[in-house]
Amino acid sequence: MLPIKPHLWFDQDAKQAAEFYATLMPNSTVNYVSHFPMPGGECEAVEFTVAGQSFLGISNSHKLGINPSISFMINFDPSRDPDAAKHIDEVWSKLIGNGKIMMPLDHYPFSERYGWVADKHGVSWQLILTNPSGEERPVIVPSLMFTQPVAGKADEAISFYCSIFKDGKRGNTAPRPEDMGPDKAGTLMYADFYIDKTWLAAMDSAHQHGFGFNDAVSLLIPCETQEEIDYYWTALSADGETGQCGWLKDKYGLSWQVASTVMFDALRNGSPEQIARITEVFMTMGKVDIETLQRVYNGK
């Protein structure tokens, strides 16, 4: 079992976006860039790392529109970094360039220093000066916002996800103590949970944001066996809907990709001919068939 990788579908150059993110923090880099044919034109795929968190990004002529329903929380922890307060300001200054400030970097009741910004590529980041108690969290935690029509279902969704992944467990939970405008008492202001070797966060917001989960940001599960693919494909799509190339939407509308490591080995290490062969077959699949991908990759 391998950790979940956030997958970003950029409206423009994925490589350019990855190169920008590689400058944000230490332990960040562009790992590889690849290209493969898709209906409507060539697709650019890039794997990159930000502060130790691996991402996959693609771009082609299809524009899906990244929105803040999935953002990425960056934890600046003074117990691990004595200069955390300085570094949060430095990263913020990079992200706000041609971006959109959603909550200014300032003092809030829940943090001495916090800000929320959508960068120039549309990706949303929450920067927070924190000193978490209990089990250490990674620097970057993907954060899910459950908006209409699934506002109020974040806690239920966490239970659903933790029941599917064998290592699933809850972390911190902060329910609303009382009604707060359209947000009802008991709905989640914040919670985090651990699945598939990955920490994620979730919150409810019943305000009329005008956005919700879509395919522009999905959660990718890299599977090494067909047994894993069969299990996650069936479990996560229950009462949801399945799509093409390992994509599915769960019953809360969250997009997942149940993927094979064979495909990513091809993108990283394959020749142009191998990549063209494997992607041609891959495009015909709903649920991924590892044996077929491996045979085509090997030219058999």
* DSSP-assigned letters across all residues of the chain: ----EEEEEESS-HHHHHHHHTTTSSS-EEEEEEEEEETTEEEEEEEEEETTEEEEEEESS------TTEEEEEEE-TTT-TTHHHHHHHHHHHHTTT-EEEEEEEEETTEEEEEEEE-TTS-EEEEEE----SSPPPSEEEEEEE-TTSTT-HHHHHHHHHHHSTT-EEEEEEE-SS-BTTBPTTSEEEEEEEETTEEEEEEE--S--S----TTEEEEEEESSHHHHHHHHHHHTTTSEE-STTEEE-TTS-EEEEEEHHHHHHHHH--HHHHHHHHHHHTT-SS--HHHHHHHHTT-
Share of the chain above pLDDT 70, in %: 99
Could you tell me if residue 35 is inside a domain?
yes
pLDDT of the residue at 116: 98
pLDDT of 51 strictly over 80: yes
pLDDT of the residue at 66: 96
pLDDT of the residue at 131: 74
242 is in which domain, residue-wise?
A: 5-65+214-297
Please give the Cα distance from 40 to 60 (Å, whole number). Answer: 8
Tokens for 1, please give them. Answer: 């079992």
184 and 269 share a domain? Answer: no
Distance spanning both ends of the chain, measured CA to CA: 28
Q: Kindly report the pTM of this predicted structure.
A: 0.95
How many domains, in total, are found in the chain? 2
Closest CA to 221 of 249, 255, 259: 259
Could you tell me if residue 271 is inside a domain?
yes
Compute how many other C-beta atoms are within 10 angstroms of the C-beta atom of residue 185: 10
Average pLDDT, the chain: 95
Residue range 86-101: mean pLDDT, rounded:
97
111 and 83 share a domain? Answer: yes
pLDDT of 300 strictly over 90: no
115 and 170 share a domain? Answer: yes
Closest CA to 195 of 157, 245, 230: 157
CATH number, domain at 100?
Answer: 3.30.720.110
pLDDT of 132 strictly over 70: no
138 and 183 share a domain? Answer: yes
88 and 198 share a domain? Answer: yes
Could you tell me if residue 209 is inside a domain?
no
> Binning pLDDT at 50, 70 and 90, where does residue 133 land?
low
Q: Tell me the pLDDT tens digit for each residue of 102-117.
A: 999 999 998 999 999 9
pLDDT of the residue at 16: 96
pLDDT of the residue at 63: 81
Q: Pick the last residue of a domain from 178, 204, 230.
A: 204
Q: Pick the last residue of a domain from 150, 179, 204.
A: 204
Higher pLDDT, 300 or 175: 175
95 and 187 share a domain? Answer: yes
123 and 137 share a domain? Answer: yes
Residue range 15-26: mean pLDDT, rounded:
97
Residue range 242-248: mean pLDDT, rounded:
96
pLDDT of the residue at 39: 73
Largest CA distance in the chain: 62
136 and 257 share a domain? Answer: no
